[in-house]
Structure 1
Amino acid sequence: MHTPSSIDEAIEGALKGSGKINIIIAGKTGVGKSTLINTVFRGELAQTGSGRPVTQHTEEISRQGHPITIIDTKGLELKDYDTIAAELTDVIDTRSASHDENQHIHVAWLCIHEDGRRVEEAEVELCRLFTEKNIPVVVVITKSRSDDGFSEQVKQTLPSAAAIVSVRALAEELGEDEDRVTLKPKGVDKLIEATAKLLPDAKQRAYANALNSRHAAAMKLKVEQAETEVVVAAAAAGALAAVPIPFSDAVGLVPIQVGMLAKIGITFGMEISTTALTTLVTSTLGAGAATLIGRTLVTGLLKMVPGAGSVAGGAIAAATASALTKALGSAYISVLTRFVKENPGKELDMTLIAMELRKRISL
């Protein structure tokens, strides 16, 4: 039988494993960096005064409970390039020297305004700097309307860039009255996908958490990462039950399932904190999670696993333990996906989501 501390340990493990991601965003003043940040990531990160000054020309944008830190250049002007480059070099070197990988820079977005129709020397040099520091670079052509071969020009000028994506973060209206034309947002999904490909596997959960759920590519990544968490937890449950578990001891599966629920919640964008995760667990499994909730949980899940009902009076074998855990995880993903689709871009209401999950598994 598990103890309250084993549940606490499962929650702590989910927290420690969530990780952090750090992205440098560089570009000239007016290129649209703040709009891009607020469009791609949840929580309106780039608000006035939200950043912490690091150097004269750089600031860190972050928020408690959010796994991402944006290292933003306040502007990339040619006259200040040498100073900006020196400051960024110091920031990168300091973070790279840390033994904590959560301090490292994982990717850089180099933003270039499409209307300029040229790549500045400062942008060429900065791309080279990032590449030399082993930071993969995504060139983001911002405020894109009509490419007219500009992205190919950028590709030729910045051959070390890992990806080049044209983005219009917000809808834009051109013309007046009957001649008015609305240009829809574009390229955000491509930017999300291109960045994901450049990140280490260990950072995918943090990246999925940080993304705004209103984007199709973000939701795809969240679901895929959540399904991975289910597979891992189901395998762990099966290993625990390799020697059949008496049904009365099924409570031993709970720490595994608690950790899975927490990791899936983080993946979908819940606040990364002990309080938030504890609320999730107690709302879903009930205040009695430290006593007999494991047995109750399994009773509800038995209805979701064909042919498993007969184990109620006997023992839980590895295949059944794995199937029960998978059923819980799949139900949770389904509930979260439905909430996000009905509330695009909104913060997760974990109490409401937990109540719906309890209904699904008939607790």
Structure 2
Amino acid sequence: MNERGHVNILIAGRSGVGKSTLINSVFDGDFVRTGVGKPVTQGTREIRKEGIPLSIFDTRGLEMANYKESDEQLRKFIADRRLSTDPKTHIHLAWICIAEDLRRVEDAEQDLVSRLIDYVPVVGVITKSRADQGFRQKVHDLLPKLTNVIRVRALREEFDDGHVLEPMGLKELVEHSMQLVPEAHRRAFAAAQKVDLDMKTSQAHQAVAAASVTAGGIAAVPIPFADAAAIIPVQITMIAGITAIYGLPVTEGFLSSLVVSVLGGAGGAFLGRTIVSGLLKLIPGAGSVAGGAIGAATAGLITVALGEAYIAAIYSLLAKNAGKAPSEQEIADAFKKEFVAAITMRGKR
């Protein structure tokens, strides 16, 4: 959980532009309504929620008569955080929200962007988008140093005449923001957002690949049976990492029992090969080399099968439940089913 990092996003805009709606549409946990907020500067508060690796810095000072003073306090706050030795405290990204129906960019918004761009990448977000009519280009022209200007509509809208406007632009906003967030905090951003399930899955595949290499390296060491005790924690950590990437709240005990039960049942055939490789390592010379090679291949194979089965299980459950977190029992049942299918297919090969 610690290694996935923590991402901090500043979201600025006048009252009524739809910041809260946007935040709750993009991030898990009904973030604004249920999160805990505290003031950090005049007109700015930090919102956090337990279990979600995200802090939202909500700036509300653009309506104030002395907004320039508020902007200067905010600039200093971000500059001071940037000097911190802990990158988890840095402000990693800023969204400047401008409502499309207002059709104008205020001096306060231009001043704020000019103060922020030296410290953090800034994205222009046009909210409540219904009809562009050249407004996006106008924002580009007035705020040329924005990394991009993205039109979004956070909620589905249905009009009296039956005309419907579906949500739009959220995935584009998430994908663009992901590229701007520092590498060390991308897992945190992927975990916190709920718009793009494939983004979470891409990060999860990377976790599986890394764990497979680690497990294979441990198994290749020519010491009889020493690898088994070391590989299981690698696999449990991999499952925990995938869980963190998907932003699911499951316990350490559950993750451990999940891996052990799956390996002890459906993984019996692969464990048999691990025992054989351990016995081969007892034979001096060539036997230890052969045992190490078999063990490395088997360890990598089991680790990949476990990881990919877990990803498939989580992905299917989240897709089926429209992003709602599944129960531990649902996860366990789906995981075992996917792992049995994976090793059966590999066994036929």
TM-score by length of 2: 0.87
Distance 1:257 1:310 in 2: 17
Instruction: For residue 109 of structure 1, give the secondary structure of its aligned residue in structure 2.
Output: strand
> Where in structure 2 are there 5+ consecutive unaligned residues?
279-293, 344-349
Q: CA deviation at 1:245?
A: 6.1
Counterpart in the other structure of 2:152? 167
Counterparts in 2 of 1:198-277, with a 5 A limit? 198-212=180-194, 215=195, 218-244=196-222, 246=224, 250-271=228-249, 276-277=250-251
Distance 1:332 1:192 in 2: 24
Q: CA offsets, 1:122-155, max 9 Å, x none?
A: 111111111122x001110000001111111111
Q: CA deviation at 1:250?
A: 2.0
Query: Aligned residues: percent identity?
Result: 41
Contact between 2:6 and 2:188, CA under 8 Å: does it hold in 1?
Answer: yes
Q: Does 1:123 align with 2:105?
A: no
Counterpart selection for 1:94 from 56, 80, 85: 80
Q: CA deviation at 1:244?
A: 4.9
Counterpart in the other structure of 1:44? 30
Distance 1:321 1:49 in 2: 42
Contact between 2:35 and 2:47, CA under 8 Å: does it hold in 1?
Answer: no
Contact between 2:98 and 2:105, CA under 8 Å: does it hold in 1?
Answer: yes
Tell which deviates more after alignment, 317-326 or 143-152: 317-326
Distance 1:22 1:170 in 2: 24
Which stretches of structure 1, 4 residues or more, deviate above 3 A after TM superposition? 244-249, 298-303, 308-316, 358-363
Distance 1:147 1:253 in 2: 55
Q: Does 1:140 align with 2:125?
A: yes
Distance 2:140 2:156 in 1: 26
**Measured at CA, do residues 56 and 149 of structure 1 come closer, stay the same or move farther in structure 2, by a change above 3 Å?**
same
The amino acid that maps onto 1:209 is A
Counterpart in the other structure of 2:289? none
Q: CA deviation at 1:93?
A: 2.3
Q: CA deviation at 1:119?
A: 1.1
Q: CA deviation at 1:300?
A: 3.2
> Where in structure 1 are there 5+ consecutive unaligned residues?
1-14, 287-292
**Measured at CA, do residues 48 and 200 of structure 1 come closer, stay the same or move farther in structure 2, by a change above 3 Å?**
closer
Tell which deviates more after alignment, 342-351 or 140-149: 342-351
Q: Does 1:19 align with 2:5?
A: yes
Counterparts in 2 of 1:300-339, with a 5 A limit? 300-301=266-267, 310-315=273-278, 316-339=294-317
The amino acid that maps onto 2:81 is R
The amino acid that maps onto 2:89 is Q
Contact between 1:29 and 1:75, CA under 8 Å: does it hold in 2?
Answer: no
Counterpart in the other structure of 2:321? 343
Q: CA deviation at 1:252?
A: 2.2
Counterpart selection for 1:191 from 173, 180, 194: 173
Q: Which has the higher contact order (CA 8 A, sep 6+)?
A: 1
Contact between 1:262 and 1:280, CA under 8 Å: does it hold in 2?
Answer: no
Q: CA offsets, 1:79-127, max 9 Å, x none?
A: 2321220221232123112111000000000000101111111111111
Counterpart selection for 1:182 from 164, 186, 189: 164
Instruction: For residue 267 of structure 2, give the secondary structure of its aligned residue in structure 1.
Output: helix
Contact between 2:239 and 2:310, CA under 8 Å: does it hold in 1?
Answer: yes
Instruction: For residue 47 of structure 1, give the secondary structure of its aligned residue in structure 2.
Output: helix
Q: CA offsets, 1:208-253, max 9 Å, x none?
A: 11012xx3xx211100000000000001011112235646852321
Structure having the higher Rg: 2
Contact between 2:235 and 2:259, CA under 8 Å: does it hold in 1?
Answer: no
Number of residue pairs matched by the alignment: 326
Distance 2:29 2:253 in 1: 20
The amino acid that maps onto 2:295 is A
Q: CA deviation at 1:206?
A: 0.5
Instruction: For residue 317 of structure 1, give the secondary structure of its aligned residue in structure 2.
Output: helix
Contact between 1:96 and 1:105, CA under 8 Å: does it hold in 2?
Answer: yes
The RMSD of aligned alpha carbons is: 2.3
Instruction: For residue 132 of structure 1, give the secondary structure of its aligned residue in structure 2.
Output: coil
Q: CA deviation at 1:283?
A: 4.0
Q: CA deviation at 1:354?
A: 2.5
Counterpart in the other structure of 2:282? none
Contact between 1:78 and 1:122, CA under 8 Å: does it hold in 2?
Answer: no
The amino acid that maps onto 1:33 is K
Tell which deviates more after alignment, 182-191 or 316-325: 316-325
Distance 1:77 1:265 in 2: 41
